[in-house]
Amino acid sequence: MNNFLKGLWKEHPVLRQLLGMCPTLAVTTTAINGLSMGLAVIFVLFFSSLIVSLIRKIVPSSVRIAVYTVIIATFVTIVDIFFKAQFPQISKALGPYVPLIIVNCIILGRCEAFASRYNVRESLLDALGMGIGFTWGLFVLGAVRELLGFSTILGIKILPSSFNPLVVMILPSGAFLVLGFMVAIMNKIEEKSKK
């Protein structure tokens, strides 16, 4: 169980390990984009961890990275095709960042550091924990940016029209700002709980 929970908070992939910064900063202009990216990553992480864990004993260590990459690339391409077929709108919004999940270091990182060493059950728990952690991180980041930049969340108007949207939140600098605050809050809470 601990393997599941650690990804949600203690070893949060985005806010603690600071992994997968490229999609984190790039796609979180709206909450829905962050959420879809997160769900795509959960799918890829779950199945890659499953396969990697299953074949961990027969893959020679000298070619393991190549094997993991091929497996990850396969699942990412499936997600990409699925989005194009079922959700053309989301596919349009995420653009090149779906195929780029292949090089998302969280996935290769979890395969290498965890799935290749533990049994299927533990690997899947780890993958789900990390995936959900990644998703809530991106969702919150996207929601804050959308709220301040467009005064909406998930397309629903929240702030009154007297509020002047801060364009900077939609620009890349806004992603860095919000992420910085989120990491800071996370550290503060951690510090308090230690005392």
Partner 1 sequence: MRENIKIIGILTIVCLGCALFLALTENMAKEKIAYNENKAIKDAIFNIVKECKDIEAINIKGKTVYKIFDKNNNLIGYGFLCEGEGYQGKIKIMTAVNNNFEKLLGIEIISSSETPGLGAKINEDFFKCQFKGLNIKDPIEYTKGKVRKDNEIKAITGATISSRSVVNILNKTIKELKSNIKVK
Binding site for partner 1 (CB under 8 A): 26-27, 29-30, 33, 55, 58-60, 62-63, 66-67, 70-71, 73-74, 77-78, 81-82, 84-86, 88, 92-97, 149, 167, 170-172
Assess contact for 107 and 52: CB atoms under 8 A. Answer: no
Shortest Å distance, C-beta 186 to partner 1: 24
Q: Which residue has the tokens 């961990």?
A: 56
C-beta closer to partner 1: residue 63 or 185: 63
C-beta closer to partner 1: residue 18 or 78: 78
Shortest Å distance, C-beta 77 to partner 1: 6
CA dist list (Å): 30 to 11, 147, 179? 25, 8, 14
C-beta closer to partner 1: residue 8 or 26: 26
Shortest Å distance, C-beta 70 to partner 1: 5
For strand 152-153 and strand 156-157, is the pairing parallel, antiparallel, or unpaired? antiparallel
Shortest Å distance, C-beta 63 to partner 1: 5
C-beta closer to partner 1: residue 3 or 24: 24
CA dist list (Å): 181 to 20, 35, 151, 186? 17, 20, 19, 8
Phi, psi at residue 156, to the nearest 5°?
-100, 130
DSSP-assigned letter for residue 159: S
C-beta closer to partner 1: residue 81 or 158: 81
DSSP-assigned letter for residue 99: G
Shortest Å distance, C-beta 27 to partner 1: 5
